[in-house]
Structure 1
Amino acid sequence: MKRLIQQIINRCSVLVLLMSVLSLPYVQAAQLSAMTARQVQKSLEFQAEEQWKEAAVVLESVGTPTEYDKAFVNRMLGVVYWQKEQPLKAINALYASVNSKVLDEEAQRASERMLADLLMTQSRYQDALRLYYPLSTSKELRQKDRGEIWLRIAQAHYQDEQYSKALKGINAHLKLASAKPSSLSLKLGSQLKLKHWKGSTRTLKRLIAIEPRKKTWWIQLVGSYQRLNDKKQMLNTLVLAKRKGITLSDSEKVMMAQLYQQQGVPEKAAAVMAEVNQGEADTTGLVMEASYWQHAKEWDKAIVAWERAASDAPKYYWVAAQLSLQHGQYQKALSLLERVNNPEKVPDVELARALAYDKLNEFDKALLHAKRANELKPSDQSQSWIQYLTQKTP
C-alpha cells in the first residue's frame, strides 16, 4: 500500500510541475525587470526543447535585481532542477521562492503546492503537511484542488503511519471528490490498520461496486466479516463472489464448505468439497467431503468419499464398511472389510462379516465368521451371534 501511494505521489507531482512550467510565462511577467524577463524567456525556450541543463545555467546566471525577480526565478529553478533529477536543489529553490512572500496569491499557492508535492516525493511528510494544511482551507482554491490537497494530506499521514489522521484526511477528500479505487484503497488501508472492521466492510462494498471483478476486494471483505465473527456474511460474500465469476482458490472453497456446514447446509458443503477434490485431493479434504455427505444423509456419495479417503489412509476402510452395512450395501461392505488392515479391528471385522453374510442369507459363512470373532475375542455379542446363526443353519 505504501509503495503504491508513493508511486501515485511521484506521478502526480511531475504532472503538477510540468503544468506549472507551461503557465510560468504568463504569471505577471510584466512585474519582472527587463533583463530578468529576457533571461526567463531564453530559459523557457530551452525548457521547451527539454534542454534542462542549459535552462538551469541561464536561470542561475540571472542577476535578479528585485525580490520579485528572485522569487520568480527560484520558482522556475525548482521545476528545472526537478527535471534534472536534483530534488534537493529543487526543494531549496522552491523554499526560497515561497519564503519570500512576494509572489502574487495565485502564484504563491501554486508554488507552495509544488513544494509540498516535491517534499512528498522525498518522504518528507511532516514538512509537506505544514504546507498542505493551510492550502486545504484556502477559499480561493477550487473544490477540485482542495479535494486533491486533502488526498495528499491523507497520503502523507498514511506514509507516516498516522492512520487516524489519514482516515480524517481521506474522508475530507471524499466529501469534495468522487470516490475512486485509489482513494478508497487508502481509506481501506487506514481502517484496517485501525481495526475498524465495520467501516472496512462499507468501504470494501464501495470498492466492489466500482471494481466487481477484482478478487482482492471480495476476499478482504470476507476477512473483515471474519474479524466481526459474522459467519453468515462471510458465506454470503464468498457465494456472491463465485456467482460474479470470481475464481476461488481451493483454500477459499474449503472455507466456504466449512461455513455451509456451520450454517446447517451439509449438502452444499459436501458439493463444494467434491469440487475441491476433483483430480488430486488430500486426505483431509476427502474426509471433510465424506463427513458432509454423511451429515446430509447422502449415503452412496459418503461411502464413495470414505473409500477414496481410505486409499490414502486405510483406517477409513472400516468407516466406509460400517456405513455400507448400515445402509444395506452388504456386498460393498464385504469388499471394503477385505481391505481393513488394523490388527486390533480383526474381531470386529469378523463380526461385521457375520452380519453381512446373514443379510445375504449365506448363514454358513455368517456362522463361520461369528465363531472366528469369538475365538479371537470372546464376548457376549459374538456368542449371541453364534447362538442365533446356529438356529438358522441346517
Structure 2
Amino acid sequence: YILKWFAKEENPKAEAYILAATAYYYLENYPEVISYTSRALPLIKTPPLNWYELLLAGYYETEDLDNAAIVLENIVVKYPMRKKYWIQLAGIYQRLGKDKKALAIYELAYSKDFLKKKQIMQLCKNYLYFEMPYKAALVLEKEMATGRIDSTLESLNMLVDAWILAQESEKAESVFNEIINSYNDEKSRLRLGQLHIENEKWEKAVDILNIELESEDLTLISKINLLLGIAQFNTENIAEARISFTQALSDKSTKEQAEWWLDHIKRKGEKT
C-alpha cells in the first residue's frame, strides 16, 4: 500500500518517508529503512531524535559502522545532552580503529560528566595508549578521591603505571605503599624495590624487600632476593648480599645475574 501511495505522490512529506521506513524496520528490510529515512531527514530543519535513531538502527543492522558513526556525530551535535550517544560514538570509533577520535570523544564526554566508572577507566587506558600518562594519573587520582572509582588492585596498578610513565617516582612510591599496605601484594613490593634501586635509594630498597615472603612463586621470590642483594651490596652489607644472591640462584630467571654478583663480590674481596 505504501509503495503504491509513493508512486502516486509527487512530493511526499518527511513523515511519510519515516512511516515507510518504520514499516520496513518491522519487516527487517534494513536497506529500505536506510533509504527512506535518508530521504526524510533533509526535508526537516530539525529532525526528531527518533528519526536519527531509526537510521542508526538501519546502519547497525547492516553493520555499516562508517555511516553509523556519521549519524552519531550528527546526534551529539544536535542533542549534546544525550549521554549514551557519546559513549556509542566513542565505541564505534574504537571498532573502526579510529582510536584518536575515540579518545577525543571520551575527553569531551568526561568534561560534561557523562562517563561512568567503566568509561572513565577506558579513558585512562586510552591516555596510556597514546602516551599521556600524566593525564591518566590525574583523572584516576581525582576519581579515586571522590570515590567514583574504587581503589582496587587493578585501578591502583593503573595509577602507579601512569605515575611511573610520567616519571613521577615519589607519587608512584606513595601508590605502591598503598597497594602493599592494603593488599600485601608482593609483585608491587618487587616493583617498588626496583623503583628504589633505579633511583639509588638503597636503604629504602632494603627496607621494602627484606621481609619474610608468603608467596609460593619461586620466580617472584628469586627476583626479590636478587634486588635485595643489589640493595644490600650498595649499603655495604656484603655478607647479607651474598646470602640473598645465593638464594636467587634457585630460579633460572635470576640465576645468571646472581652468579655475576657473587663473582663480583668474590673478586672485590680478593682485591681487598
TM-score above 0.5: yes
From 156, 165, 170, give the equivalent of 1:286.
Answer: 156
From 356, 359, 372, give the equivalent of 2:231.
Answer: 356
Structure 1 gap segments, 5+ residues each: 1-129
What does residue 88 of structure 2 align with?
220
What does residue 301 of structure 1 align with?
171
> Which amino acid letter does the alignment assign opposite residue 264 of structure 2?
S
Alignment identity in percent?
20
From 262, 266, 269, give the equivalent of 1:382.
Answer: 262
TM-score (norm: length of structure 1): 0.57
1:149 maps onto 2:19 in alignment: no
**Preserved contact between residue 232 and residue 241 of structure 2 (Cα < 8 Å):** no
How far, CA to CA, are the matches of 1:150 and 1:346 in structure 2? 70
**Preserved contact between residue 30 and residue 61 of structure 2 (Cα < 8 Å):** yes
How far, CA to CA, are the matches of 2:246 and 2:38 in structure 1? 80
Is the alpha carbon distance of 1:165 and 1:349 closer, same or farther for their aligned partners in structure 2, counting shifts above 3 Å? closer
**Preserved contact between residue 367 and residue 386 of structure 1 (Cα < 8 Å):** no
From 100, 119, 126, give the equivalent of 1:232.
Answer: 100
From 227, 231, 253, give the equivalent of 2:120.
Answer: 253
From 162, 187, 192, give the equivalent of 1:320.
Answer: 192
TM-score (norm: length of structure 2): 0.80
1:226 shift after superposition:
1.8
Is the alpha carbon distance of 1:191 and 1:349 closer, same or farther for their aligned partners in structure 2, counting shifts above 3 Å? closer
1:264 maps onto 2:136 in alignment: no
1:388 shift after superposition:
3.8
1:373 maps onto 2:240 in alignment: no
**Preserved contact between residue 190 and residue 223 of structure 2 (Cα < 8 Å):** no
> What is the root-mean-square deviation in Å for CA atoms of aligned residues?
2.8
Aligned length, in residue pairs:
254
Per-residue CA deviation, residues 344-383 of structure 1 (Å, 9 max, x unaligned), is 45665455445435555xx3xx123123225545834134
**Preserved contact between residue 135 and residue 149 of structure 1 (Cα < 8 Å):** no
Per-residue CA deviation, residues 235-267 of structure 1 (Å, 9 max, x unaligned), is 111111222x13312221222122222222222
How far, CA to CA, are the matches of 1:248 and 1:204 in structure 2? 17
> Which amino acid letter does the alignment assign opposite residue 154 of structure 1?
A
1:199 shift after superposition:
1.1
1:187 maps onto 2:61 in alignment: no
Structure 2 gap segments, 5+ residues each: 250-257
Per-residue CA deviation, residues 131-161 of structure 1 (Å, 9 max, x unaligned), is x2333355577x6xx2211110011111221
Is the alpha carbon distance of 1:174 and 1:247 closer, same or farther for their aligned partners in structure 2, counting shifts above 3 Å? closer
